[in-house]
Amino acid sequence: MERRIGVVAISVLHRESAMKVNEILHGFADIIRGRMGIPLKEKNIAVISILVDGTTDEIGALTGQLGQIDGVKVKSLLVKV
């Protein structure tokens, strides 16, 4: 299967959802190449961007699990390598 490289943007709208997000990201550590998280305390949200390198199935599983968490929004941008 072809691999993709891309960026996944995650908005965490409820602080209590952050632990579940981190658990899922830990489970997909093998396809995550980098991560940057910025808490916006005055707006009570956090934005996380991750650089991923994996198959569309792997990345889709990651974004799908994240998207099922209440208060979490996910968008991705992928390119074929």
Residues 8-26: pLDDT tens digits? 999 999 988 999 999 999 9
Provide the domain limits for residue 17: 3-80
DSSP string, the chain: --EEEEEEEEEE-SGGGHHHHHHHHHHTGGGEEEEEEEEEGGGTEEEEEEEEEEEHHHHHHHHHHHHTSTTEEEEEEEEE-
User: Global pTM?
Assistant: 0.93
- State how many domains the chain has: 1
- As a whole number, the mean pLDDT across the chain is 96
Supply the angle between the helices 18-27 and 56-67 in degrees, to the nearest 10: 160
User: Above 90 in pLDDT, residue 80?
Assistant: yes
User: Above 90 in pLDDT, residue 55?
Assistant: yes
CATH number at residue 9: 3.30.70.1150
62 and 8 Cβ atoms separated by less than 8 Å? yes
